[in-house]
Structures are given as structure tokens and as C-alpha cells.
Amino acid sequence: MDRNFLTRVTAYFLVTVAAVVFLTPSAATWLGKDDKLPKWMQKMQRIQLGLDLQGGLHLVYEVQVDKAVSDKADRMASDLEDKLRKQAVTQVRAERFGKDEIVLQFKNAADAAKVNREFLRDFKNRLYEDSRDAAKFEVKLKVDSDYVDEQRDYAVRQGKETIENRVNKLGVAEPNVFRKGNDIVVELPGLKPDDFERVKNLIGRTAQLEFKMLDDGSEYMKKIAAAVSSKKAEFPGIEVGHDGWAEKESGQGHSDVYLRAKDRAELERFFASLTGDDLLPTDHEIGYEQTQSRDDDEDEDNKKSAVAKERYWRTYYLHRRAELTGEYITDAETTWDQQTGRPEVSISFDHEGANLFEKASGSNIGRKMAIILDEKINSAPVIEGRIGGGHARITLGGMGDPFQMQQEAKDLVAVLRTGALPAPLKKTFETQVGPTLGRDAVDKAKFSMIVGSLAVILFMLLYYRVSGLIANIAMSLNILYQLAILALLPGGGTLTLPGIAGVVLTVGMAVDANIIVYERIREELRAGKSARGAVEAGFGRAFWTIFDAHVTNLVAGIVLYSFGTGPIRGFAVTLMIGIVANLFTSVWLSRAMFDFYVGRRSSSAHLSI
Amino acid sequence: MAKQTFFELIKPNHNFEFIGRMRLLLGISLVLVIISIGMLPLNHFLPSRGHTLNYSIDFRGGTELQIAFDKPQDPALVRATMSDGGYPGTDVVSMKDAIHPNTFLLRFGAVSPLSKQKADLLHKALQTKLGEDAVRKFEFSDGGDKIYIRFNKAVETEAIVGVLNDAGVKNNAVQRFGRPEDNTYEVILVGLDVEVKRTLEAKLGAGSVVAIPSVESVGAKAGAELRDDGIKSMLFAILCIMVYIAVRFDFRYGPGTVAALLHDAILVMGAFAVTYREFSLTTIAAILTVIGYSMNDTIVVFDRIRENATRLRDKKFDRIVNISINETLSRTILTSATVFFVTLAMNVWGTGVIRDFAFAMNVGVIVGTYSSIFVAAPILIWLNERFFKTTGKPTKTRSSSANKAIA
């Protein structure tokens, strides 16, 4: 055995040890023994199981870029009306048509003439005059096409970032968000089915935050309280509640009447059923809050029994106009209420928002301000004084276990921080796979593959004896190397069902490569060559056959990877890895084993093949 | 030294005649290809089938969901209930499932809980209830999961919910969108799975749906994209393979290889057309595997032909081909048999996608082996006679000389 041979064997040995090391973390994860890994291994990359194998959620959203453009056009139309109004033009209607056309309809020629170059300077690079119908007093404006493209691209980029930020805050392992044209792909392998709805809602959530003032002590609510008793038969679940608090500084008392019920829908139906004088004034609206009896409840009975704490919905009679909206938020974070220890979300406003907030709080001291998130009142604290500095806090519902509340706080921070989506999303593709389904498929696949592999191993042993054993060792090492390379791919490779198909194909090719070599060696032996000579010739002649067959498949793999999508790519990745591993094991590694096997025997001895 | 004997399936020095039977077998291949392609329009017109292939929603667009009931259900009743609930033409297939015994696979065209027609009705309902000119814009794109409604005045969200409920669009969230003074509202439609569950439970009783283990929706546009991507990548791969073979061997060998793999791809597709098994993205992956396998097989045979062509210059080219096929026959049979039995095990014990994959491989291994001998080789011989009329010595001998150097 020469030195060259020893170096080769050492190299193969080191490669094998490295492969085992790289695969250990993945194997430990699959067996659920992650905690038993040594520390330095814990952080190593693992092979991810694809959605089809472990369950999870796969979503593709199309960013409706045209909606982003038409929204901008809508706003410009409103701005145009405002600007015209400032120039004393009241008889005008600005309306968007299509996605990028705004038509200004005037009542007379003089007003229409006011829309000129000078007037449109404010909308430079955004709008230009398309045409003018003097007879109809109509001016048609168009949104600049560069501006349109810019807005579209911005919408997709911003949408991707927003989704990415939201998803990253979910606490799901290995989320994957990427852009594909105007589409955004979200992959969440391993997500539990119970979380599907929550996650989908979070991704699609608009995150509309509003601050509105409560109109306490109103005549309207007193009138409505009377209406409740007359409609008792129709709405048995609705009760009238009274609320009272005192201003801290002046001590002036406030009182309010509200309605409450277990079911929000019942309250909504009640207000919808009102007619005539009872109809809700148009400058007001009803807000709903889900709450529960607290320790500071006036009702003594509720205070005593902690068990009786029940959740219910209550109404707030609000001024429709929002004092402030979420558009002014710059940051949000989870904090803890010092007194109750409950999680809460603290938000910061930008300069303009801080000014608005200060003004609103200053002129409404002693009143309640409702914080409304996505049409639901989050809380309605009493304003105790002018609030400067641009900070506000949102306390969480107050029910549920601490873990759930914390989760809720985190989700809320995620959506508030990332802001509203710039354009609506349209879901074009959705796959939900429960882990049980994935598990079932994996188990069956595993079983069938084990049976198949055992049959091949047995066959090779019977047919080729010692050489068959060598082939089997090479094949096992081949699979080991393939998986190790997969684990080493940037970000950890993902194994999917089509990926397994790729492995099956390459293992088939590995077996084939061995058979090609062995049949060649047999031919050489029949021709009367010595064992050593036959091995030499067999490997030498078979090499180019195996090489060509593998390279053609590699070419196919590269093309499929570059042009394919999803499952086709998964197939291409394992195919390419497998081909490289195959060439290594079936050409060089099994050759080394043969050299070892043949080298120890006399030249006249028979080869067990 | 005593002549060594081996455990052999096929004795050496056999010489089966392949090339002489070429015409007959090529004919059979041609017939099979015609049947495979002919099955497509036939399937389309067969009342029980209706599509050229049993396309999964990957290509068709639509929704496929697994649904488990608490007790056995009549598929016809499920179908009728779905149809009444606004999902006409739903495929209801009973499926085996270890965890939930009464599981069905439902497949229907809708990807959104709201159809275009229903959305139009809703638009009209809003106009009649809230005033003709109250609704400024009503935006819903087919397949979307949200509706945007812009009003000319502020509207109670409850009022919108009321109209939605009356129109049969229930359990949806309505919220304000954008700036308050825009008066725009967003209706978030509930998931299709929730809607289907509601539809079925209304008829079959509450609690009758135990679980919905998987849901998959593909928009029609996304489906078309997947299909085009698949076809494009497959064609480009074939082109690249041809170029590679032309460079490595010479151009005579390229068309035969490609014809063989097209033959195999068509026959596997034909097997899916005849059995009307589901044709999905996994099937594409399976066809790619078959192509890879078939190519491997063809190249092994061609490589031997190339080698023998330089060695046996005195023989006619078709004889060289026949000898080469015989020489590699033992290997061909062994390899095919092993791959066939592995995939057969997957076919017998596997489920769902694995089983379809294995089925494609079973067919593919047989036709792949066959096509190397009876499709690729005859084309090679024909091209050789037509353009070279030589004994078949390749114009490039780089690899052959490499062989010699090693040997």
C-alpha cells in the first residue's frame, strides 16, 4: 500500500467524519433530542423539512399595485378640491376614473380656467393636464406614468418589508418571505394549524389605529337607554350600564350611560333597528369594547367572586371625527404596567402627531378618549391633563392568560411598528398542510423507501458478493454526503417530496454506476485479465460513461433550477447535489475500497464480484 | 488460472437480434405515442372525465381541500350541498386516511369565498339599501379575499355588515381603510375553509365536519404561470442536453437521445391520461426524474456504441449497435430491475403524492429502458446512414482516447 493510497483514504475518512458532524444537528432535531447536543452543535445549520413534509402555511400574495396608484390618485383628487376651495371655487367635483385619470367637473368656464400651469405646479411630476372640454367645463388630468411606476414598485417593496417585519415578529422558526415580480411569497413551515387564521389575519391586517373622544352625558344615550326597555323582548341580552368618574384637578363629576351585552352582534343589531328620532346622529358613532368586571367595578357582587368575572361588550358614544390616527406613529414597543404587571404597548408619535395629541388632550381634560384599533375599542382612559411628548399607551384586554396577552402585545407592536400596508394584498396561492398529514406522508414514504433500499442492498450482496458489499457501503456514504451538503447550503437546505424524488433518482444512478463498473470488470475478467488489471480497466472504461450520464443530468438540473419554480427547484437542488456526491462515491471512493480489497490478495486469486 | 464464473442473469456471448426487429418495435412505440396523445382529446369529450388530463389545481386554478366528517357521508349528498352552497361542479373523492376515516377530497373552481356574481349582487344591494349615489366605488377583483367600498358619506360599519348578512356573506370583518375622511371600508372575507365548513354543516348538522387537514388554493393566473414555467424549463433543459451531447459525442447522437426522452415523457403522460390519475406538479417532478433516468440509460448504451465504433471498424454500423446493446444488456436489465422494484415498493406502500410519483417511475423505467434500445438506437442508425454512410467512427475521439490512456 503506497503513500498515495493512504493519503486518499485519510481524505475520504475526513470527509466522512465531517459529513457525520454536519448531519448530527439535523438528525437530533428529527429525533427530538436537540437538548442533548453539545453546545457548539446547537447553532449549526439543519436541513429544513418542506411544507409537504412537516406541514405549515404557504401563501402567495399579489400586491395590488394598481390600487396603490388609484389610492394616490384619489388623494390627489381630494387635494385638488381642497386647493380649489381655497381659491373660492366651491362648485367643483374631482373624481378619479380608471386608475390614473382625474376629471375635474366645474360649473362655469371661469372656474375651469383656474386650473392652469401655475395651479398644477404643486402637483409637478405627479399630474399633468391631458385634455380640456371647454363646453362641458371639464378638465381631464392624468397621473404621470413615471410616478405610477414608482408608486407600483414602492408598493411591492414596502409591502414585502411590511410582511417580512410582521412575520419575523411571529416567533415562527425559519419564516421565508421573498418577492417574485409583483407577488410576495410567504413560507412558514412547521406552523401549527391553530395559528393559520391568526397568521393570515396578521399578514393581511390593515392596522388602523384611531383616537376618538367620548361624548359623555349625552341626551342621546339617555334616550336610547329608555328605548332599551321598550325593546326588551327583542333584545333580551342588552342591559343599561352607568359609568361615573371625577376630574382629578377640579373634582368635577362626569357620568355616562352605556349599553352592554355578551354579544357584540346583539348590540349592533339593536342600533341598526333604531329609526326616526332614535337614529344615531351622523356626526357620532358607537364604539364597542370588550371588557370584564374589574375589581374597581361599582357592583359589589362582582367584586367578591373572582369566578364571576365575565367578559362582555359595552358601547361608547363617540364623536365620529378622529382626533388622531395611526399614520403619525413612529414607534411602538411592549412594556409592562408597573402596577398590574400586565403587558401593554407604548407608542410614540412624530412631531405633527404629538402636536395633535397635545391639543386634543389639552382641550378635553376630564373626558374619556377611546383608542380604537381595527374598529374595536382597545381602551378608553380618562384624560387627566395635557399630554405632551407624543407618547400614548395601549393596555391589553385584561383577560386571558399572561402568555396569551404577551403574544397579543407582540402582534400589536408588530403591526403598529410596521405600519399600514401601502397597497392591499390579494392572495393568489395558499397551501395549508396540517402536520399530521405531513407526518403520515413522511412515515409511509420512509417505510416504502426502507423496504426498497433493503431489497437493493440484498440484491447487490447476492449478485456481486464482496463487491456488492463495497457498492452498498458506497451507496450509504453517498446518501450521507448528499444530506450533509444539503445541510450546508446557505440558510440550510429544504427537503421536500420532489427533493426526495431527486434523491431517489441519484441513488438509482449510483446503483447503476456500480453495475456499469462491475459488468465491465466481469467482461475484463472473462477476457482473461488479472483481478488487479480487470479492476483497473473496468473503472477506467466505465468512467466516461458514468461521467457523461451524470453531466447530462447536471445540465438538466441547472436549467430546471434556473427556470423552475417551487417543487421543480426542490427537485433540481437534490439532483445536482446527488450528482456531485455520486461521482465522488461511485468513481473515486469505491475505487479506493477496491484497491484495498484487491491489493491484499495474490494476483491469481479470484475476485468476488 | 481457472476461468472465473459469476452469478449471472444473462449469460455472456448471447447475441439477441434487436436491430432486425426495429421496425416492428418502433411501430409499437409509435402506436403507443399516438394513443397517449389521442387520449387527451378523448378524455376531454368523455362525460365522466371532462379534462384532457386530471389536472390538479396547481394547473387549473381553484381550491383543493381535505375534509374529515364524523361519520360516513354520501359523496353525492356532499356534492349537492356544495353545489347549492355556491360551489358548482365540485369533485368529491373519497380518500383513505389513517387518522380520519371519513375523509373526502373536495376540488372546486373558487379560490375566493366570494364569486364575481355574488360581489355584483352585493354591490347592487348596497346601492339599494344605502342610496343609489352613496356608493362611490366598489372594488373587488375576482379571486380576491377583500372588498373595498368607498362611500360618498360616512356609513356605519354595522350598516355594511347588515347588508352583507342579508346578501348571505356572513361572518366577515368590516373595517375602515385609509384616512377617515375617505370613507373607505374594507371587508375582509373569511377563509374559504371556514366558508365550506359552514356550508356543509348547515346541511349535514353542526359538528359533522371534524377537521380540514389541508387546504390549497391556486389563483387561475398563478396556475397558468406554474404550468408555463414548468413547460419552459423542461424544453430548455432538453435543448441544453442536446447541445451537451452534440459536443461530447457528435450531433448524430443528440436527436436519438432527445427523441427517446420525449417518447418517455409522452408515454408517462399517456399513462396518466389513460388511468386518469391526478396530474400535478409532483407528476412534473416524476416526469423529470423519468427523463433523467432515460437519458442516463441512453447515454450508457450510446457510450458503448461510440466505443465499439472505433474498435470494430470492419463491421456495419447497425451490427455495431446490435453488439453494443447486447454487451450492455446485462447492466440495462439489472439497473432497470433494481430501480423498478424500489419504485414498486413505493407504489405499493406509499400514499397520495408518493404513490403517484412511484407510478410514474414504474411506467418510466419500463419505457425508458425500452426507448434507449428501440427509439434512440434506430434514430442513430438512420442519421448515420443518411448523413455519414460510414462505419460510424465518431468525428470526435477525445473521450475514447482517454479511455485507452487509462486502460
Which has the closest alpha carbon to A517: A578, A452, A427, A594? A594
Contact A548 B407 (CB under 8 A): no
Of A104-108, A324-328, A386-390, A479-483, give the range with the top mean pLDDT: A479-483
Mean pLDDT, residues B194-220 taken together: 83
Q: Do B178 and A543 touch (CB under 8 A)?
A: no
Instruction: Give Cα separations from B154 to A78, A275, A371, A469, B160 (angstroms).
Output: 16, 18, 19, 80, 11
Of the partner residues A286, A433, A498, the one whose CB lies closest to the CB of residue B214: A433
Rounded mean pLDDT, A60-84: 80
Polymer length in residues for chain A: 609
Residue B214's φ and ψ, nearest 5 degrees, are -150, 145
- CA torsion, ordered A45, A50, A53, A57, to nearest 10 deg: 120
Average pLDDT over residues A214-233: 85
Assess whether pLDDT exceeds 60 at residue B392.
no
User: Does the pLDDT at position B212 exceed 50?
Assistant: yes
Residue A417 scores a pLDDT above 70 = no
- Partner-chain residue, chosen from B99, B245, B349, that has the shortest CB–CB distance to A451: B349
Query: Residue B141 and residue A551: Cβ atoms within 8 Å?
Result: no
Q: Are A367 and A387 in contact (CB under 8 A)?
A: no
C-alpha cell at A596: 484495498
The per-residue pLDDT for A301 is: 43
Three-class HEC string of A41-52:
HHCCCCCEECHH
A129 vs A310: which has the higher pLDDT: A129
- Reply yes or no on whether the pLDDT at A480 is more than 90: yes
- Nearest CA-CA distance, residue A205 and chain B, Å: 9
The whole-angstrom separation of Cα A522 and Cα A469 is: 16
Hey, what amino acid is at A554? L
Closest partner residue to A272 among B158, B222, B349, by Cβ? B158
* Residue A298 predicted with pLDDT over 60: no
Within 10 A of B286 (CB to CB), how many other CB atoms are there? 27
Strands A494-495 and A48-49: parallel
CB B207: neighbour CB atoms within 10 A? 9
d(CA A122, CA A106): 20
- The Cβ of residue A1 has, within 10 Å, a number of other Cβ atoms equal to 10
Half-sphere exposure of A32 (CA within 13 A, CB side): 0
A555:B175 CB<8 A: no
Name which residue leads in pLDDT, B186 or A593.
A593
Query: What are the tens digits of pLDDT across the range B255-307?
Result: 898 899 899 999 999 999 999 888 887 787 778 778 888 888 898 899 899 88
**What confidence score (pLDDT) does residue B403 get?**
41
Distance CA(A411)–CA(A374), nearest Å, equals: 13
Where residue A422 falls among pLDDT bands split at 50, 70, 90?
Answer: low
- In chain A, which residue's Cα lies nearest the Cα of B406? A540
**pLDDT higher than 60, residue B393:** no
Query: Angle, nearest 10°, between helix axes A531-563 and B281-311?
Result: 140
Answer whether residue A494 shows pLDDT above 90.
no
Alpha-carbon span A173 to A507, nearest angstrom: 31
pTM: 0.65
- Across chain A, what does the average pLDDT equal? 80
pLDDT higher than threshold 80 for residue B158: no
More confident residue, A299 or A96: A96
User: Average pLDDT for residues A229-255, to the nearest whole number?
Assistant: 82
Which candidate, B302, B303, B304, B362, places its Cα nearest to that of B337?
B362
List all residues 6 or more positions away from B101 whose beta carbon is below 8 Å from its beta carbon.
Answer: none
C-alpha pair distances (Å), A246 with each of A339, A366, A598, B41, B328: 21, 7, 99, 81, 98
Give how far the C-alpha of residue A506 lies from the chain's centroid of Cα atoms, to the nearest Å: 34
DSSP readout, A10-66?
HHHHHHHHHHHHHHHHHHHHHHT-GGGS-HHHHTS--PEEPHHHH-EEEEEEEE-HH
* Band of pLDDT at residue B399, cut at 50, 70 and 90: very low
Tens of pLDDT, residues B221-230? 777 777 777 7
A138 CB-near residues (< 8 Å, 6+ apart) = A103, A104, A105, A106, A112, A132
Q: How far is A246 from chain B (nearest CA, A)?
A: 31
Arithmetic mean of pLDDT, A316-322: 84
Query: Do the Cβ atoms of B233 and A447 come within 8 Å?
Result: no
Q: Do A204 and B145 touch (CB under 8 A)?
A: yes
Q: Does A439 score more than 80 pLDDT?
A: no
Complex ipTM, two decimals?
Answer: 0.72
Dihedrals φ, ψ of A493, to 5°? -70, 160
Cα–Cα–Cα angle for A449, A453, A457, nearest 5°? 175
pLDDT at site A401: 65
CA distance A405 to A334: 11
Whether residues B286 and A197 touch (CB distance < 8 A) is answered with no
Residue B354 vs residue B329, higher pLDDT: B329
Q: Of all helices (H) and strands (E), which one includes residue A210?
A: strand A209-213
Q: Is B190 left (phi over 0), alpha (psi -120 to 50) or beta?
A: beta
Check residues B347 and B176 and name the one with the higher pLDDT: B347
Q: Mean pLDDT throughout B159-167?
A: 80
User: Which residues fall within 8 angstroms of residue B292, CB to CB, at 6 or more apart?
Assistant: A505, A509, A553, A556, A575
In this structure, the number of other CB atoms found within 10 A of the CB of residue B368 comes to 29
Kindly report, residue by residue over A580-592, the tens digit of the pLDDT: 999 999 888 998 8
- Please tell me which residue, A13 or B397, carries the higher pLDDT value: A13
Point out the residue among B7, B232, B343 whose CB comes nearest to the CB of A463. Answer: B7
CA distance B12 to B9: 9
- End-to-end distance of chain A based on CA atoms, in angstroms? 22
The whole-angstrom separation of Cα A166 and Cα A32 is 28
Confidence band of B180 (pLDDT split at 50, 70, 90): low
Rg (alpha carbons) of chain B, rounded to whole number = 30
Which percentage of chain A shows pLDDT scores above 70? 87
For residue B242, the model assigns a pLDDT of 80
**H/E/C letters for each residue in A285-340?**
EEEEEEEECCCCCCCHHHHHCCCCCCEEEEEEEEECCCCEEHHHEEEEEEEECCCC
Residue B404 has pLDDT above 50, yes or no: no
Report the first-to-last Cα separation within chain B, whole angstroms: 22
> Per-residue pLDDT averaged across A52-57, rounded?
79
Chain A residue at shortest CA distance from B296: A549
Strand partners, A180: A183
Q: Counting beta carbons within 10 angstroms of the beta carbon of residue A567, is it exposed (0 to 12), middle (13 to 18) or buried (19 or more)?
A: buried
Residue of higher predicted confidence among B403 and A167: A167
Angle at A563 between CA A560 and CA A565, to 5 degrees: 85
For residues A562 and B369, which has the higher predicted lDDT (pLDDT)? B369
Show the cell assigned to A384: 387627566
Whether the Cβ atoms of residue A373 and residue A209 lie closer than 8 Å to each other? yes
Of residues A418 and B116, more confidently modeled: B116
Per-residue pLDDT averaged across B198-210, rounded? 85
Is the per-residue pLDDT at A294 higher than 70?
no
Which tops the pLDDT comparison, A339 or A136?
Answer: A136
* Mean pLDDT estimate for chain B: 81
* CB-CB neighbours of B205 under 10 Å: 12
Residue B390 three-state SS: coil
Distance of CA B80 to the CA centre of its chain: 29
DSSP per-residue codes, B329-374 = HHHHHHHHHHHHHHHHHHHHH--HHHHHHHHHHHHHHHHHHHHIII
Strand partners, B252: none
Closest CB to B222 among A429, A536, A545: A429
